[in-house]
């Protein structure tokens, strides 16, 4: 399957052997290794097939990336990079990829808004304001 997601016929077996870093098991480092065929897609040309356990262009499995992203919610990027033994920038790239996947999977609360209400009020002395947006059709705060 190419990046566009459509099923295509195999082109050849020339994609070569690929390796992806997986979650560690105790003190053992785990990798997935597979011979990846190439596929012929009219829109993408001849490309290496996508693996179902990883994102295009990533050298890590989705499970490994989820674990790193979860660690980044409770620790700094530098700490997370030391725990699974990846580079500091790699930990940041992983976090961005996971965030993009989550953003694509979760619908926006602003989709299909047609009737809204907006109210603004001050909650501290001075100029500290809070703005509330309400969807009047679904009766919920956005």
- Sequential pLDDT tens for the chain (142 residues): 445 666 666 677 776 788 888 887 777 778 888 888 888 777 767 777 778 888 877 888 888 888 888 888 888 878 877 777 888 788 888 888 888 888 888 888 778 888 999 998 887 777 788 889 898 888 888 8
Please report whether residue 3 resides in a domain.
no
Residues 130 and 86 in one domain: no
Give the largest CA-CA distance in the chain: 70
Residue 136 in domain = yes
Give residue 29's domain range. Answer: 10-105
**Domains of the chain: total:** 2
- Please tell me whether residues 71 and 24 are part of one structural domain: yes
- Residue 52 domain-assigned? yes
**119 shares a domain with 54:** no
The single residue listed with the structure tokens 């790193």 is 68
Q: Domain check: are 82 and 134 in the same one?
A: no
**Pairwise CA distance, residues 120 & 139, whole Å:** 18
Rounded Cα–Cα distance for residues 56 and 112 (Å): 31
* 4 domain residue, yes or no: no
Q: Which residues pair with 133 in a beta bridge?
A: 118
Q: How far apart are CA 48 and CA 12, in angstroms?
A: 10
| pTM across the whole model | 0.61
113 and 86 fall within a common domain: no
Within 1-142, strands assigned E span 10-12, 17-21, 31-35, 38-41, 45-48, 116-124, 128-135, 140-141
């Amino acid at each position: 399957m190419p990046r566009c997601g459509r099923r295509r016929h195999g082109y050849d077996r020339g994609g070569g052997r690929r390796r992806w870093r997986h979650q560690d098991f105790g003190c053992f480092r785990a990798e997935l290794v597979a011979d990846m065929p190439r596929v012929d897609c009219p829109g993408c040309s001849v490309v290496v097939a996508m693996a179902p356990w990883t994102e295009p262009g990533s050298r890590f499995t989705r499970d490994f990336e989820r674990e790193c992203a979860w660690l980044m919610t409770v620790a700094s990027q530098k700490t997370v990079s030391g725990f699974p033994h990846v580079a500091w920038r790699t930990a940041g790239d992983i976090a961005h990829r996971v965030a993009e996947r989550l953003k694509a999977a979760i619908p926006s609360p602003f989709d299909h808004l047609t009737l809204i209400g907006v109210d603004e009020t001050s909650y501290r002395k001075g100029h500290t304001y809070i703005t509330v947006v309400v969807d009047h059709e679904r009766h919920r705060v956005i």
